[in-house]
Structure 1
Amino acid sequence: MILILNGPNLNMLGTREPQTYGSATLVDLEAQCEAWGAELGLAVSCRQSNFEGQLLEWIQEAEEHGFSGIVINPGALTHYSYALRDAIAGQRLPVVEVHISNVDARESFRHVSVTAGVCRGKISGLGFLGYRLAMEYLQDILGN
């Protein structure tokens, strides 16, 4: 089972900066991830929070709740949350960081990820497809 986490402001997909993120909503993204999970034979659970502490708890509890991997879009927390970085590093599940937009082609503060270094990989700039690629990668390394 794969846990898909979306951080701050991703609940605003579809209305926030559509020129950057597109017109599809978080509900659309979650439905797409569930459909891709079904195609891949993976159970998927999608969650979103604007609160760092909630994301930390979900990461810390993921293994005990039966998850085998995590796909995370930390949103702005990517660039400064050492607490999120430590939560990812402090658990045993493989984690893939995903960003809808190409963060390296945006403002300079977005070029630094404090979380990517403790993830198995980072996918950026491929829109929603990045989530599918992250799930395929986890499926491959987990042998599902």
Structure 2
Amino acid sequence: MKILVLNGPNLNMLGKREPHIYGKLSLPDIEETIKKHAKSLNVEIEFFQSNYEGAIVDKIHEASGKVDGIIINPGAFTHTSIAIRDAFLSINIPFIEVHLSNVFSREPFRHKSYLSDIAQGVVSGLKEYSYICALNFLVGFLKS
């Protein structure tokens, strides 16, 4: 089983950017945590981060036929990207939307997601554990 973990804009700044909201871990720290957990589940994992919407769309398209599931933290694209939504609608791969912060305890514009209604599930507000919960669910879902 192979899972792709996608991270959107500004997530490369984790650990430096608003640690009171997003936590103190860097993206490489979080990826290492995910990688260790994936290994315990006997799952191959691939990571990709971009600040560019088109690069994320391209990666979603390229995933077709190559991965079994996707975990995505779209960052600010959550609230703006019809292009990423359409990319997911163009492939047949289940995905989970994740967020480090609890988006519903934040500014009202963060409450709207263009992906939630087409995602297999959404995990929000658990910092780096949002990814672990998403991975656990996705692996179980794909095995069933």
TM over 0.5: yes
Hey, what does 1:108 align to over in structure 2? 108
Question: 1:59 aligned to 2:60?
Answer: yes
Q: Secondary structure at the match of 1:46?
A: strand
The C-alpha deviation readout for 1:97-138, integer Å capped at 9, x for no partner, is: 000000000001000001111111111001111111111111
Letter in 2 for 1:46: F
- Which SS does the other structure have where 2:58 is aligned? helix
Letter in 1 for 2:64: E
Instruction: Give 3-state SS (helix, strand or coil) of 1:55's partner.
Output: helix
CA RMSD, Structure 1 to Structure 2 (Å): 1.0
List runs of 5+ in structure 1 lacking aligned partners.
none
For residues 1-144 of structure 1, what are the structure 2 equivalents within 5 Å?
A: 1-64=2-65, 66-143=66-143
Return the alpha-carbon distance in structure 2 between the equivalents of residues 48 and 36 of structure 1. Answer: 19
User: For 1:73-97, what per-residue CA distance to the aligned partner results, in whole angstroms no more than 9, with x for missing partners?
Assistant: 0000000100011111211000000
Counterpart-to-counterpart distance in 1, 2:61 and 2:104? 28
* 1:63 CA drift (Å): 2.2
Runs of 4+ off more than 4 Å: none
Aligned length: 143
Residue deviations 1:25-79 (CA, integer Å, cap 9, x gap): 0010111111110011111011100000010011111123x21000000000000
SS at match of 1:113: coil
Q: TM-score scaled to structure 1, two decimals?
A: 0.96
Structure 2 portions without partners, runs of 5+? none
Identity of aligned residues (%): 45
State the secondary structure of the residue aligned to 2:6: strand
